[in-house]
Structure 1
Amino acid sequence: MKILLDFVPLVLFFIAYKLYGIYAGTAVLMGATVVQMAIIYFMDKKLSAMHKATLALILIFGALTLILKDDRFIKWKPTVLYAAMAVALAVALWGFGKNFLKMMLGNQITLPENVWVRLNTIWVVYCLFMAAINGYVAAYYSTDAWASFKLWGYVFPLAFIIGQGFYVARHIVDDTDKPAEPPGDVQ
């Protein structure tokens, strides 16, 4: 359900863009993202750091787009977000020895440490790829082509999530498979 919820602001943006232009689309994206985050907060009683960063960047880059009447800001927002994620994941892991993915998901699934490191590395590469491809389309294609790419380019995150699911499923450690600890001395 949450993946569908992530897709709604993008679809609403695309519809508003096609009907009324980039500035209306940007305003709709901003409003839809605020509503989306409110729903997520209502469901989870919290927003993840990723949700907070996404909301902040959409509001900042959206406001700059609307105030300055310059669509480059909203077009470059995904590149900034993905690049920041890649840098944060890389610096945390290789600079400070902290694995953000494990910190966020480790209480939900149990994986061997080397799999967590590989997963983090895969996320860094994926984020760099997404930053680069969005930056390329934003820089070298029309706003119309970029908006279409944003909608149809959603296949990249979906494929990544499905592929990641298959990868993780192969390595999940089932805690129920561990032998029970022998009882202590019973007198």
Structure 2
Amino acid sequence: MDRPLFERDPSSKERKTINPLLKLALELGPLMVFFFANARGESLIESYPALSVFGGPIFLATGLFMIATAIALTLSWILTRTLPIMPLVSGVVVFIFGALTLWLQNDTFIKMKPTIVNMLFAGVLLGGLLFGKSLLGYVFDSAFRLDAEGWRKLTLRWGVFFVFLAIVNEIVWRSFSTDFWVAFKVWGIMPITIAFTMSQMPMIMRHTLPEKDGSAAE
């Protein structure tokens, strides 16, 4: 009998795991730093004049965002000895576009970062489907065991969702103030993503593979 598509690698059991709340803190921490630094940028610069080297609040927020992202990725590596692909890719883009933002003193680069990241993920997922590959299985293989149809549906839906997020980011940063964009990035995108994720659970449950007898006996 053929092995199910994206069956979990036995070696994955050896991977270190961390508390879900700590994992969430590592993922949301840099965003919270970004929001706080932008909102309190002027008072922070007044209290600590050395921070004026970054420029205005959005540039200070960008610099601290880069530092917080580096710290989060480092802690994730220390605790698990792995770096999740999506935070890693997002972190690389943060460093590139953040550096351009600070160097050129132009916040357009950091505002375009979510668009670039989301379109990159969408391109990889939807492009993989064109070649018959449900690549999302490689990202979530340790969380779900789905049949081939389930992975295909989930990959397609996430690919389309990433395109949606990219479009929303472009509309928001081009149409509203920087403060509004920062707030929406933290308090808007996350609830939208959580709602979308929860909406996929019925489909995931329908396509979840039954546990093997051998694994159940372990």
The two structures have a TM-score, normalised by structure 2, of 0.76
Q: Assess if the C-alpha contact under 8 Å between 2:66 and 2:98 holds in 1.
A: yes
- Which residue is 2:35 aligned to? 14
1:92 counterpart = 2:133: no
Question: For residue 167 of structure 1, what is the amino acid of its counterpart?
Answer: M
- Which residue is 1:61 aligned to? 97
1:43 counterpart = 2:43: no
Q: 2:142, 2:107 → 1: CA distance?
A: 40
Q: Assess if the C-alpha contact under 8 Å between 2:35 and 2:186 holds in 1.
A: yes
- Which residue is 1:74 aligned to? 110
Identical-residue share of aligned pairs (%): 33
- Which residue is 1:4 aligned to? 25
1:118 counterpart = 2:153: yes
Question: For residue 11 of structure 1, what is the amino acid of its counterpart?
Answer: M
- Which residue is 2:177 aligned to? 142
Q: 1:163, 1:33 → 2: CA distance?
A: 29
Q: 2:204, 2:28 → 1: CA distance?
A: 23
Q: Which runs of 5+ in 2 are unaligned?
A: 1-20, 42-56
Q: Assess if the C-alpha contact under 8 Å between 2:150 and 2:203 holds in 1.
A: no
Question: For residue 174 of structure 2, what is the amino acid of its counterpart?
Answer: A
Where in structure 2 are the equivalents of 1:171-186 lying within 5 Å? Answer: 171-176=207-212
Q: Which runs of 5+ in 1 are unaligned?
A: 179-187
1:127 counterpart = 2:166: no
Per mean C-alpha deviation after superposition, the further-off stretch among 108-117 and 156-165 is 156-165
What's the secondary structure of 2:128's corresponding residue?
A: helix
Offset, 1:109: 2.5
- Which residue is 1:26 aligned to? 62
1:169 counterpart = 2:205: yes
Number of paired residues?
177
The two structures have a TM-score, normalised by structure 1, of 0.88
Q: 1:171, 1:98 → 2: CA distance?
A: 17
**What is the CA RMSD across the aligned residues, in angstroms?**
1.7
